[in-house]
Structure 1
Amino acid sequence: MSEQTTLTPAARRILDAASRLFYARGLHAVGVDTIAAEAGVTKKTLYDRFGSKEALEVAYLRARDARWEERLRESLAAHPAPGVERVLALFDAVDGWMAVEGGRGCAAINARAEVDDPAHPVAVEVARQKAWVRELVRAECRAAGLARPDELAEALVLLYGGALAASGVGTPPEPFRAARTAARTLCEAHRP
């Protein structure tokens, strides 16, 4: 993500502080005063670097998503040949990701829950992220030669999203493993 590599040191501190605070407390609960203080900058610097709190919120979501995408691509690379294991790599990747980066569920789902307007920049960014995952799963289902890949991908993405939401509330205790088991059953049922 080019935005991450071109950030000034102050902008990097702002984004890092905002990322920790937004994930821990939510978008609305964290004000720019708190972010600026945590980053050791002035509010003016925050606005000079990001323009608005909304832009900072979107930058937070994009930065987190870029790290998630990298983790997912590493998981996919461990299964270079198309097939069910490559489709299931999504669940392995998210399980490992949330063990390190989680605790409060999906940052994107949490952020989207805070905005009502589907045209809000946060809502648009979350929709983009979720569409990207859905398209990746569709492509993997097609490459694996599974029957009705579009229908299967929709079901798998629902399992993935449900596991993300469940991870934020702690029930079931291992939502990604449960989702992976159900996903395998669906994939096996869609073998030609």
Structure 2
Amino acid sequence: MVASSVLLTDRGSRAAKPLTPAGERILSAASSLFYERGIRTVGVDAIADAAEVTKKTLYDRFGSKDNLIAAYLEQRNRVWHLFLDEQLRMRAPQTPEQVILALFAALTDWMAESRRGCGFINASVELAAPDHPAMPVIVAQKQWMRAEFLAQAERAGFRSTEELADRLLLLHEGALVSYRVAAMEHAPEVAHRAAADLLAGWPRD
């Protein structure tokens, strides 16, 4: 299998800070509620009730709802990376091109368990303020995907790798949006085929 230094080392998110049992319950409850119901529609009262803690405990552990939103997205990012690592182990790609296509193929399995689409894209729509604590997490997650496509394109010996990485990212993220907004359930498969066609026709050094 082709090793991916970006996948294995540079995850684009901060290391998880140890949480108390109450903090773990709060983050777990918030993660479920934010993803299923939407960030803006879920208040701290609902999160505290679901986690069986007081609002004071919630604020003691996270400081604010905004910080809790950022923690939710950091956790989702870690889950995403672990999922991709498992997908690569399972698919065992032998070339950089196969790594890229495995990342696209993984979308089908991921979306089967994430029916409300990409949590990062959803959050970016709800959190319009550029200075929100969660925005750097969202931006870093998308930058990481592009960096991974770029790294694999360079390993494969393609020309104009920056442009290729841009196109691959647009296909990847477009599949997520189409799945969620346009109710296009086969969007991941379409993106996978489009990525394969793009790679097949892209010039090499």
Q: Same-fold call, TM > 0.5?
A: yes
Q: Greater relative contact order: 1 or 2 (C-alpha under 8 angstroms, separation 6 or more)?
A: 2
Question: CA separation in 1, counterparts of 2:88 and 2:165?
Answer: 16
Deviation at 1:9, TM superposition (A): 0.9
Q: Which residue identity does 2:103 align to in structure 1?
A: L
CA contact (8 A) 1:21 1:30 kept: yes
Q: Which residue identity does 1:179 align to in structure 2?
A: A
Match of 2:5 in 1: none
- Select between 64-73 and 82-91 the one with higher mean Cα deviation: 82-91
Question: CA separation in 1, counterparts of 2:63 and 2:199?
Answer: 45
Query: Aligned Cα RMSD in Å?
Result: 1.5
SS at match of 1:3: coil
What is the aligned residue count? 190
4+ residue runs over 2 A deviation: 1-4, 73-83, 169-173
Alpha-carbon spacing, 1:110–1:164, altered in 2? closer, same or farther (3 Å): same
Match of 1:117 in 2: 129
Q: Which residue identity does 2:196 align to in structure 1?
A: R
Match of 1:87 in 2: 100
SS at match of 1:62: helix
CA contact (8 A) 2:25 2:51 kept: yes
Task: After TM superposition, list the pairs within 5 Å mapping 1:132-171 onto structure 2.
Answer: 132-169=144-181, 171=183
Name structure 2 gaps, 5 residues minimum: 1-13
TM-score, length-scaled by structure 2:
0.87
- Select between 15-24 and 68-77 the one with higher mean Cα deviation: 68-77
CA contact (8 A) 1:72 1:94 kept: no
- Select between 69-78 and 44-53 the one with higher mean Cα deviation: 69-78
CA contact (8 A) 1:148 1:190 kept: no
Match of 2:119 in 1: 107
Deviation at 1:92, TM superposition (A): 1.6
Listed one character per residue, the Cα deviations across residues 77-116 of structure 1 (whole Å, up to 9, x for unaligned) are 443533321111111222211212x111110000010122
CA contact (8 A) 2:93 2:102 kept: no
CA contact (8 A) 1:105 1:166 kept: no
Deviation at 1:142, TM superposition (A): 1.0
Question: CA separation in 1, counterparts of 2:93 and 2:116?
Answer: 31
Question: CA separation in 2, counterparts of 1:120 and 1:55?
Answer: 9
Question: CA separation in 1, counterparts of 2:184 and 2:37?
Answer: 23
CA contact (8 A) 1:83 1:145 kept: no
Q: Which residue identity does 1:90 align to in structure 2?
A: L
Listed one character per residue, the Cα deviations across residues 146-171 of structure 1 (whole Å, up to 9, x for unaligned) are 22221111001001101111221353
Deviation at 1:40, TM superposition (A): 0.5
Name structure 1 gaps, 5 residues minimum: none
TM-score, length-scaled by structure 1:
0.93
